[in-house]
Structure 1
Amino acid sequence: MTQLQFNLDLELLKESVMSSNLDTVVKSAIILVMNEYMEKERDDYLKADAYERSAERRDYRNGYYERELTMSIGKIKLKVPRTRNGEFSTSIFEKYARCDQALVLSMLEMVINGVSTRKVTHIVEQLCGEDFSKSFVSSLTQKLDPIVNDWAKRPLNLIYYPFVFVDAMYIKVREHHRVVSKAVYIATAITENKKRVILGLSVDHAESFESWSRFFQQLKSRGLQSPKLVISDAHKGLQKAIQREFIGTSWQRCNVHFKRNIIAKLPKKDSGEIRMMIKRTFEAVTIEDMRKFKDELMSQFGDNPKYEAALNILDEGFEDTIQYMEHPEDVRCHIRSTNSLERLNQEVRRREKVIRIFPNTQSAFRLIGAVLMQYQDTVYSKQKSLKK
């Protein structure tokens, strides 16, 4: 049988070395080695050398065709052997497909991490000597679709999530030749083992009762059971959707947002005392003390018209904002606000700002879903159970 031989073109290599073109030397050597390797593969397939008569011969040689292969050193052109029946196939491209795959994955990772497609094409050109169009980079991101879709549809009935956080952020999307605003709904949770998990997302029209209901129904269709507590802001449509979709679930109004709403209605001057009493109320250790301090505050300042707007907000939303006090002490600091979800939203926003306007809804779902998956793997998965 044929032995693997290397018939190097020494004159070509000598010329490359003398001209100090190291890339050409490396490429030439790789091309020669791969061409010779494919030649041996064809000989082994045929079970006969060139011009050899053999009863075991399977087919006959039929020349070559050229095919390019992109590697980390750039693009090389190979002479691929053929047979008459066309059944022979070299393993070279299968073995080195990981180089192409690594290149694609690197490009996708750059996009997910907030690098613009323009910069991605420039970086790849510098690394590989290849010029890729922005449309090519954009088309590569479509490879994320099945991955993100599988993650977004994964079952949620294997674990019980007692505490669920929901929020919405707005993005710009091109739709019917117009730039429109769309809402991205994101849900996270804390498990009974006190670990954070991203449950899912949805891209829909402006925040409303109907859109929030659709999002919750989607989560329920994947197996999400009614949690003990849903933590969110005070959007009216969201509150109504929680009440309808999650029977027996309490609603926790974000403590941080609630206090900001109260403080925003206080006069800037001569309000130090009421501010201190508001702080004392929400820093109380027991729910009984919270209610007691709140009643004292209302009694002391209730007749002062300059505090009327702030006290109305306090009185109306107080009970919804202290629901976390009904749960174990070691988890209270983690469920009283949506701060953890807002940090996640900031991470999404950091990448979204690079794109500015998504070409369509699917591209928005794809990129934001990929960012959430990455955040789950790099941040939440590495966190230990929430500390006291």
Structure 2
Amino acid sequence: AQVSNISKQMIPKVEAYHKRKLSDKFFCVYLDATYLPLRRETFEREAVYIAIGIKPNGHKEVIDYCIAPSENIEVWTDMLQNMKSRGLKQVELFLSDGVVGMKTALARTYPKAHFQRCLVHVMRNICAKVRVDDREKIMNEFKQIHQQTSKKEAAAVLHKFYARWNKAYSNVIKGLKEIEPDLLVFYNYPKQIRASIYSTNMIESFNNVIKR
């Protein structure tokens, strides 16, 4: 009964949160979904979609979240359109993992925004497709890409990575080349903030807190 009463008190607050007017401008928005065990009749684990933004003044805000049985681009598209309809008109940079269709959905909703693919997710995907014996070497080399002083240097490191591993893992390198335009976008911004905009680590840290 106590849980039921708490739920009744919270529902209006949650609804108000999802309907609140949003700031019109964010510098950066991180998009990520994490799976949590939820007490439902049909699914044991469901995807919690989260959008966290950083305003031009540096203030962080959980813009919105939603829950669905699994991660798919339709839910992300609805969430993006909802954010825009509630007042968020301008975003400089979006960060996300490699969920299929995300770049297209962003281009439709926020055509002027730039897109950076999370390099940590890219590295994890690479490691899942290579031999265990090669993983450490590949990880160490791939990490060099985000540790350069300029986009030109980073591109040179990336192309060296292609050349070194193409023979052993041609499909992996082919996949990387296809998303290359989304890998080095963060270098277009000042050095001081690059460490926080090459991956979605910030939102993943937030997700880890939720899971506790």
TM-score (norm 2): 0.86
Could you tell me whether the CA contact under 8 Å between 2:73 and 2:99 is conserved in 1?
Answer: no
> What are the superposed Cα offsets for residues 284-315 of structure 1, whole Å, 9 maximum, x if unpaired?
1110001112223323443x2x2323323332
The residue type equivalent to 1:284 in the other structure is Q
Distance across 2 between alignment mates of 1:206 and 1:242: 19
- 1-structure distance, mates of 2:146, 2:165: 17
Residues 129-278 of structure 1: matches in 2 within 5 Å?
135-157=1-23, 159-171=24-36, 172-174=38-40, 178-180=41-43, 182-269=46-133, 276-278=140-142
Cα deviation 1:77-119 (Å, max 9, x = unaligned): xxxxxxxxxxxxxxxxxxxxxxxxxxxxxxxxxxxxxxxxxxx
**Which protein is bigger by CA-based radius of gyration?**
1
Structure 2 residue identity aligned to 1:311? I
Query: Which position in structure 2 is the counterpart of 1:279?
Result: 143
Distance 1:274 1:307 in 2: 11
Could you give the per-residue CA deviations for residues 114-169 of structure 1, whole angstroms, max 9, x where no partner exists? xxxxxxxxxxxxxxxxxxxxx23322331122222223222113x52020011123
Query: Partner amino acid for 1:170?
Result: Y
Aligned pairs (5 A) from 1:270-349: 276-302=140-166, 304=167, 306-349=168-211
Q: Work out the CA distance in 2 between the residues paired with 1:270 and 1:136.
A: 54
Rounded to whole Å, the distance in 2 between the matches of 1:237 and 1:284 is 29
Equivalent-residue separation in structure 1 for 2:127 and 2:67 (angstroms): 33
The CA deviation at 1:220 is: 1.0
Contact 2:96 2:117 in 1 (8 A): yes
Q: Which amino acid aligns with 1:347?
A: V
Over 3 Å counting, the alpha-carbon distance change for 1:182 and 1:267 in structure 2 is closer
> Taking CA–CA contacts closer than 8 Å with sequence separation of 6 or more, which of the two structures ends up with the larger relative contact order?
2
- Is the partner of 2:116 in helix, strand or coil? strand
Structure 1 portions without partners, runs of 5+: 1-134, 351-388
Contact 2:19 2:86 in 1 (8 A): yes
One-letter code of the match for 1:162? F
Check whether the contact 1:263–1:310 (CA below 8 A) recurs between aligned residues.
no
When structure 1 is superposed on structure 2, of 138-147 and 329-338 the one drifting more is 138-147
Residue type at the aligned position of 1:164: V
Counterparts of 2:136 and 2:74, CA distance in 1: 42
| In 2: Cα distance, 1:187 partner to 1:270 partner | 34
How many angstroms does 1:218 deviate by? Answer: 1.2
Distance in 2 between residues matched to 1:271 and 1:204, nearest whole Å? 33
Residue deviations 1:234-291, cap 9 Å, x none? Answer: 1013333212211111211111111122233333336776555433333211100011
The one-letter amino acid of 1:250's match is H
Rounded to whole Å, the distance in 2 between the matches of 1:271 and 1:218 is 40
Query: Aligned partners of 1:272 and 1:202: how far apart in 2?
Result: 36
Return the letter of the residue paired with 1:228.
Answer: E
- Paired letter, 1:168: A
| Cα separation, partners in 2 of 1:185 and 1:287, compared to 1, 3 Å | same
Aligned residues: 210
Equivalent residues of 2:162, 2:173 under 8 A apart: yes
Post-superposition Cα deviations, 1:27-61, rounded to whole Å, max 9, x if no partner, equal xxxxxxxxxxxxxxxxxxxxxxxxxxxxxxxxxxx
SS at match of 1:163: strand
TM-superposed deviation, 1:179: 1.9
CA shift in 2, pair 1:137/1:332, >3 Å = same
Residues 53 and 63, structure 2, Cα contact 8 Å, conserved in 1: yes
**What is the TM-score of this pair, normalised by structure 1?**
0.50
In the alignment, the residues of structure 1 paired with residue 115 and residue 130 of structure 2 have an alpha-carbon distance, to the nearest angstrom, of 26
**Equivalent residue letter for 1:341:** I
Q: State percent identity of aligned pairs.
A: 29
Q: Secondary structure at the match of 2:98?
A: coil
Distance 1:151 1:274, change over 3 A: closer
Conservation of the 8 A alpha-carbon contact between 2:186 and 2:198: yes
